[in-house]
Amino acid sequence: MTEPKDFLNQPALYSDYLQPFNEVIQSIGDDFIEKQVLIWAIIHYVPLTNLNSQDLHIIFYEDLVTRPAQEIERLFNYLELSYDQGESLNQKIYKPTRTSKNFSQELSRDSLLDSWKNQLSAQQIDKGMEILEQFQLSKVYEDNLTPSRDALAQGKFVLQSF
């Protein structure tokens, strides 16, 4: 999806969730990144207004990159499934694939997490944060634009609908 205004063509979605955001959605410009942030905000806003913190398990990409074994274990615990590592999970996770071998020297955890910041303008980042603020989703991120694990632990991600 590349056009957030397409969401406005769904009458039930509009009347139940998006009407308070009509101006934000209608005023989005042509910037691809800003449109993608708005789409992300919409598709996350709806479930977060409908579910309580016990009904969902949030996994951050950043945690999968920095601590994959712990995040997988946390997911298994949430699902109440047995967690049998068998062969070392870290060996499986960090085993290069045929396609990743060529890139392994270029990719580091830091570059996977932060490279996007060098590819966007300060204006795009600021506009993205403004969009997230409109949807009450800015509390998901700390000042350095990483997920707020404290907010997650305190159950602050479930939003109040308007």
Q: Per-residue pLDDT for the chain (162 aa), expressed as one digit of tens each?
A: 999 999 999 999 999 999 999 999 999 999 999 999 999 999 999 888 887 777 788 888 888 888 888 888 888 888 988 877 655 666 777 677 776 655 554 456 667 777 787 888 999 999 999 999 999 888 777 777 778 767 655 555 555 544
pLDDT at 39: 97
pLDDT at 162: 43
All structural domains of the chain with their residue ranges: 4-153
- Cα separation of 123 and 48, whole Å? 27
pLDDT at 61: 87
pLDDT at 87: 55
pLDDT at 57: 85
Amino acid, res. 12: A
